[in-house]
Amino acid sequence: MTDFESKLERFETLAAECDLISKLTDDAAKRELYLRLALHYRELADDMRTVIATNHAAPSARAKAQPQPY
């Protein structure tokens, strides 16, 4: 597992935990806080998926973009 994949897994776990906490709390302010946190972690997870997809799709493109020594 790459570092990006482990971060993706962590963000997904945090989002799920925040969703669960928001459902279990009786305090409206805390519910809103944990819902916002869950949304933020889901956005971070989406960003990580994009990074992972870009890194998997572009290794040859990055190699071609490297300047060649003379």
DSSP states of the chain as a string?
--HHHHHHHHHHHHHHHHHHHHHH---HHHHHHHHHHHHHHHHHHHHHHHHHHHHHH-HHHHHHHSPPP-
CA 70 to the chain's CA centroid? 40
Spans of all domains in the chain: 3-55
> pLDDT tens-digit profile of 9-31?
999 999 999 999 999 999 999 99
> pLDDT tens-digit profile of 32-60?
999 999 999 999 999 999 999 998 887 66
Rounded to two decimals, the pTM is: 0.78
